[in-house]
Amino acid sequence: MAERHIVHVDMDAFFAAVEQRDDPSLRGRPVIIGADPRGGRGRGVVSTCSYEARKFGVRSAMPISEAWRRCPGGVYLRPDSRKYSRASSVIEKAFHEFTPDVEMVSVDEAFLDVTLSAHLFGGPEQTCRRLKRRVKELTGLTCSVGLAPTKMCAKIASDLRKPDGFVTVPPGGEAAFLAPLDISKLWGLGPKTAAALRARGLNTIGELAACPEGSLAFLGRNGAELKALAGGVDPSPVSPEGEAKSVSNEITFDSDTGDEREIRESLVALCDKVSSRLRAAGQKGRTVGLKIRLEGFVTYTRARTVLLATNYADVIWKEVSGLYAAFPRGRRKVRLLGVRVSGLMPASERESLFEEEGDERRERSHRAVEEIRRRFGRSSIYRAGGKKEL
């Protein structure tokens, strides 16, 4: 799998920072955004607060009455969602200056995949530094950034040196980066699971990664996934425009299978069906994803971003087959397979002045297949290596 460069951007105390930017008299003062405290009798919670307020122990999601007790001299403001949304739109546009692969998690947080674009800006680290400067230039606001080969490591890195921080996790250094951190930092680890792990003497991510897999049997199917995450394994893709803007198909086998021919036939058919749906919708996409659920219901995803968006079945198959070949399944059987194409755009949109070699031939071939299916049904023709129907 090619080396990835994932960026997590977290705007620093976003709501409070916007208020301080727009009202200079608030700068340097503890600003708390949320419900009306009503002199310590208010109901509701803190939405966010400035770093000056955090010195008093005020935190997001804290009851507003508790925030008042800790910081009665603070400036309490109700949220202005329209103002924050306008600032967020400007920030998102800045992200798209560096890559089309932007996943907005919320108004003040995003993941960016700069794997294919970083060379245009001097490399991954220089891209991050330029991105931070650009956001400050356009909005007057600071952000904290994490750069890593995985989404989880990038997010954790962005939290370590706030505000206005920048932390890099080098390729291959994911496990070493995570090892000394408290297990509470791990994705998908709830309070009850964390308590159960601590009761067994597992307090750091490194200790969890090093423990024998059999000792995590009490966690059920989640044990193997948590151990893999603790070791720095996180294939989660950056999903531009959100997961809703994608086309996917899945197949669940009647019984778990290790038959490579059956697996290959199913993947070819899935690629063909996703291609047909994309073309029928007049769309193409830049990120091709593979989903594999193994016996025991453990699920993995893999994704790869192509240079030019596509809706051609053979291009999708090439990427999917490469992702599958690189997946260390071993002797474990497969229960479910899925193929997804995301990062969608209109099929008519040109990304290059030059047509990709072979595109004209591919287009004629796809149109011929579509015409045959239109006239005689989908099962009248199928691609070599694929099942007749799915």
Q: Please name the residues in contact with 152: beta carbons below 8 A apart, sequence gap of 6 or more.
A: 186, 187, 229, 234, 236
Task: Outline where 27-168 has alpha helix (H).
Answer: 51-54, 64-70, 81-96, 124-139, 151-158
**Spatial distance between the Cα atoms of 278 and 259, rounded to a whole number of angstroms:** 29
> Of all helices (H) and strands (E), which one includes residue 191?
helix 191-199
3-class secondary structure per residue, 198-234: HHCCCCEHHHHHHCCHHHHHHHCCHHHHHHHHHCCCC
- Best CA proximity match to 238, nearest among 171, 313, 318, 155: 155
The single residue listed with the structure tokens 């694929």 is 386
Contact 187, 144 (CB under 8 A): no
Instruction: For residue 109, indicate whether it is catalytic.
Output: yes
Contact 227, 216 (CB under 8 A): yes
The single residue listed with the structure tokens 């692969």 is 101
Q: Please tell me the number of Cα atoms within 13 Å of 225 on its side-chain side.
A: 18
Select which of 3, 19, 92, 109 is catalytic.
109
- Name the burial class of residue 244, with classes exposed (0-12), middle (13-18) and buried (19+) by CB atoms within 10 angstroms of its CB: exposed
The single residue listed with the structure tokens 């308590």 is 195
Which residues belong to the active site? 109
